[in-house]
């Protein structure tokens, strides 16, 4: 009954083709940075500013790519690609803003990165759950443990950087959250499920993803120690390193999911 009513409605989101939705999303994204143009201009020798620019473009292009590719994967893999696109999209918007602030002030308060992380890191974690769900071996426990792990990792780090918590205590609790995540994806239920049930393509992607979470993610706590505890890193160096790290941890991570999704979809439709 509900369906027949639905079908008669002329305007529903479903009646808009996927291509139209993708094109509009891209258009809105292109418009966004122009609204923030200030009088300040990017100097040709401002390499941090240029790195903000390059990464924001890479994030935006990745978003369009991931959304576009949802057309070529089977239904159960679409969510994974959409979540990859959400991660790069949310980060792109933050990068537009951080880039403008950097160009105008030659600083980029770390708090902007934490706002981005609070949204994108849980989404990246959910990707592990979604991959396992697509191959039919996920449990709700995996989802909740990974989500809680990210919050334990990020919230104390933020509170410490913002001055509400001791820098060392915030760091130690944050590290415990990260180790908890690593344990889950290597040795815990998630790791075991992937080991036992995944096809070679999914195993390859899952394995590369957890190494990104190990090596790629290590850059942020190292930056925290270098910047806040030892004061040996300049804001310029830290921002360039964080920008490159995000390219690996968001774009390359998404490409691995895309690889698993397209390989599995080809198998399903063959």
Residues lying near ligand RET in the complex (CB under 6 A): 117, 120-121, 124, 153-154, 157, 171, 174-175, 178, 217, 220-221, 224, 246, 249-250
Q: How far is the CB of 108 from ligand RET (least distance, A)?
A: 15
C-alpha–C-alpha distance, residues 223 and 218, integer Å: 9
Q: Which is nearer to ligand RET, 27 or 179 (CB)?
A: 179
Residues near 8 by beta carbon (within 8 Å), at least 6 away in sequence? none
C-alpha–C-alpha distance, residues 122 and 87, integer Å: 10
Q: How far is the CB of 30 from ligand RET (least distance, A)?
A: 22
Q: Which is nearer to ligand RET, 104 or 235 (CB)?
A: 235
Q: How far is the CB of 91 from ligand RET (least distance, A)?
A: 6
Listed in sequence order, the DSSP H helices in the chain are 2-8, 18-34, 47-69, 75-105, 110-134, 140-161, 167-186, 189-197, 200-211, 217-224, 235-246, 253-269
Residue matched to tokens 């994030």: 59
Q: How far is the CB of 17 from ligand RET (least distance, A)?
A: 31
Q: Which is nearer to ligand RET, 145 or 263 (CB)?
A: 145
Q: Which is nearer to ligand RET, 92 or 135 (CB)?
A: 92
Q: How far is the CB of 175 from ligand RET (least distance, A)?
A: 5
Q: Which is nearer to ligand RET, 249 or 263 (CB)?
A: 249
């Amino acid at each position: 009954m509900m369906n027949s009513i639905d079908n008669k409605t002329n305007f529903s989101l479903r009646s808009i083709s996927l291509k139209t939705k993708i094109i509009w999303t891209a258009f809105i994204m292109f418009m966004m940075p122009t609204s923030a143009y200030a009088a300040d201009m990017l100097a040709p020798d401002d390499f941090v500013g240029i790195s903000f620019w390059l990464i924001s473009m890479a994030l935006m292009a990745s978003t369009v790519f991931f959304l576009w590719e949802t057309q070529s994967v089977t239904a159960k893999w679409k969510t994974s690609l959409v979540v990859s696109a959400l991660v790069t999209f949310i980060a792109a918007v933050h990068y537009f803003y951080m880039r403008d602030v950097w160009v105008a002030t030659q600083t980029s308060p770390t708090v902007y990165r934490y706002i981005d992380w609070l949204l994108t890191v849980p989404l990246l974690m959910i990707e592990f759950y979604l991959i396992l769900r697509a191959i039919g071996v996920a449990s709700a426990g995996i989802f909740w443990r990974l989500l809680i792990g990210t919050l334990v990792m990020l919230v104390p780090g933020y509170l410490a950087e913002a001055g509400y918590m001791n820098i060392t205590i915030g760091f130690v609790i944050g590290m415990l959250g990260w180790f908890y995540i690593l344990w889950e994806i290597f040795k815990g239920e998630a790791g075991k499920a992937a080991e036992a049930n995944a096809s070679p393509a999914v195993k390859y992607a899952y394995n590369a993803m957890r190494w990104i979470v190990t090596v790629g993610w290590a850059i942020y706590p190292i930056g925290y120690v270098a910047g806040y505890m030892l004061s040996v890193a300049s804001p310029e160096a830290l921002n360039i390193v964080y920008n490159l790290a995000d390219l690996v941890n968001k774009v390359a991570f998404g490409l691995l999911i895309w690889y698993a999704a397209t390989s599995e979809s080809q198998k399903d439709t063959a």
